[in-house]
Amino acid sequence: MQVSTDTIQSNFSLKDFNTFGLDCTAGAFLRLDNPAELSLLPELISRYENYLILGGGSNLLLPDYFDGLVVQIALDKLQTRESDSDVLVNAGGGLNWHELVAFCVKENYGGIENLALIPGSTGAAPIQNIGAYGVELKDVFVCLNAFDLQTGEYRCFNREEMEFGYRDSVLKGRYKGRFIIADVWLKLTTRDHRINTSYGALAGDLEKKGVENPGISDVFKAVVEVRKSKLPDPGQIGNAGSFFKNPVVDAGTLESIQKKHSDVVFFELQSSGMMYKIPAGWLIERCGFKGKLKGPVGCYEKQALVLVNRGGAKSSDLVTFAGEVQRSVAAEFGIFLEPEVNIVQPENYGDVISL
């Protein structure tokens, strides 16, 4: 088997393949929807100086022109193995994540309802260890099957081997760009669901509706409504969700900030010992960026953590604006904000996986 040159498109627009809505052009583009074709990729990408593996394009800042091959992973299988109290869900790496969550809630499979409406593909979920409203992907993760672009072989990663961290994993760090996620296995509940409504916004929405004993469907609906009320629809306003990670600081740094900003918002990380997470959105808002625009780019008026493209922006516009945000936060709080979005630039071509 070989990939036909007829299936590789030249000068292909990626405007509809990234949630920022940037009008990026790929020198060459291939959509891969057959798992058997994964084995052909090492030889194929060797023909190009640069390559990019593209998932849902939801956590990615593309350049105006990508001089190389872009491969979109569109593996979308979905299988389940149900037992008395739980179910194993096997989902293809190219399956839309929110569609997977909606399917599981409909089937009464519990565990990922708090992760509704997170954009991107299922294969990206473990790479990023996505999380929201008190739940992280690692909480339900069993293993994944990944194709190694260096060896041309498959490798299975279990939970321990993934080395999950806050919005992090071994596939985002040490093995970044080396593996393509073919499929992911999750273990969910079919009864006695563990309902998590610990986050205030979620609990508030349910209370407002008069829901005293929420089920997974109630939580799912509440998460969707809360996220829609705070985050812009990429179909209307270009964005990639949270642009920066929430920084984690030690007690000394937090105390120093509190001397100047007594109302600083923070959350103690129980598992890390005297370490605290400060919402990046709060830091950015305090620096006056909430709702601020500079040409076609800026911070969303309802959530400063979200950088937006109001139309016609270039990649450099967003990078420049993000740099201004970082410098301002560093000057005011002594904290460097680390991007959560993968920024594809010439210096890191060839080792970027779209989240």
Determine the Cα–Cα distance for residues 322 and 239; give it in Å rounded to an integer. Answer: 13
Mean pLDDT of 113-124: 94
Mean pLDDT of 4-29: 89
Q: Quick check: 200 pLDDT over 70?
A: yes
Mean pLDDT of 31-42: 91
Determine the Cα–Cα distance for residues 119 and 132; give it in Å rounded to an integer. Answer: 12
Q: Quick check: 346 pLDDT over 70?
A: no
The whole-number pLDDT of residue 311 equals: 94
Domains with residue ranges and CATH for the chain = 5-75 (3.30.43.10), 78-230 (3.30.465.10), 244-339 (3.90.78.10)
Q: Quick check: 72 pLDDT over 70?
A: yes
- The torsion region of residue 295 among left (phi > 0), alpha (psi -120 to 50) and beta comes to left
Tally Cβ neighbours within 10 Å of residue 57.
26
Mean pLDDT of 338-353: 63
Q: Quick check: 115 pLDDT over 70?
A: yes
Q: Quick check: 254 pLDDT over 80?
A: yes
Q: Quick check: 299 pLDDT over 80?
A: yes
> What amino acid positions are annotated as catalytic residues?
167, 242, 340
* Structure confidence at residue 114 as a pLDDT band (50, 70, 90): very high
Tell me the per-residue pLDDT of 88-105, one tens digit each, with 9 for 90 and over: 999 999 999 999 999 999
- The torsion region of residue 246 among left (phi > 0), alpha (psi -120 to 50) and beta comes to beta
Burial 307-330 (b: 16+ CB within 10 A, else e): bbbeeebbbebbeebbeebbebbe
Mean pLDDT of 107-114: 97
Rg (CA), the chain: 21
Tally Cβ neighbours within 10 Å of residue 345.
13
Determine the Cα–Cα distance for residues 201 and 114; give it in Å rounded to an integer. Answer: 12
Q: Quick check: 2 pLDDT over 60?
A: no
* Structure confidence at residue 353 as a pLDDT band (50, 70, 90): very low
The whole-number pLDDT of residue 6 equals: 55
